[in-house]
Amino acid sequence: MQIIENARKRTGKPVFQYHEVIDLEYYTIRQLSYKPAINYILQTQRQFDDNYPEVLRTVTVINAPRIFPILFGFVKPLLSKQTMDKISVFGTDEEKWKAHFREKFPIERFPPRWGGTRKGSDEFCSQEDVWVEYPIPLRYFKESKLNNCF
């Protein structure tokens, strides 16, 4: 909701919805099937549905592993029909999901990682209003920072 508020202030335009991209490239099957995380995501989505109806415009899942449809099958019955209608899932074929993004979104506002032309400090333009959640590839960390983590 903070990202939406920031977009309103920055653009001076009424912004009421957001598009969510879930890039599963660096996730393991163990992480994807972790029950507390699944419960958290479901609870958060229900809270958004109850308190901020229609704030979610679309969800695009990319780099979904082959096991994802099976895992997602357990979650589908717990999501509302309105939410399910907004979800698109793509596997690891970059050309397919990049074509989807080019068709649906202004590509100049999209990070290079997902086929866009937006300029930023990294391929996700993470210094901007694109929020990147874990796991972040190790190549983005400086060696000295990594040594302190382990």
Question: Which tens digit of pLDDT belongs to each residue from 98-129?
Answer: 999 999 888 887 888 888 888 877 777 766 65
Beta bridge partners of 103: none
**133 pLDDT exceeds 50?**
no
Ranges of each domain in the chain = 2-149
What's the rounded Cα separation, in Å, for the pair 124 and 116? Answer: 10
What's the rounded Cα separation, in Å, for the pair 77 and 81? Answer: 9
The CATH fold of domain 2-149: Phosphatidylinositol Transfer Protein Sec14p (3.40.525)
Question: Which tens digit of pLDDT belongs to each residue from 48-74?
Answer: 888 887 888 899 999 999 999 998 998
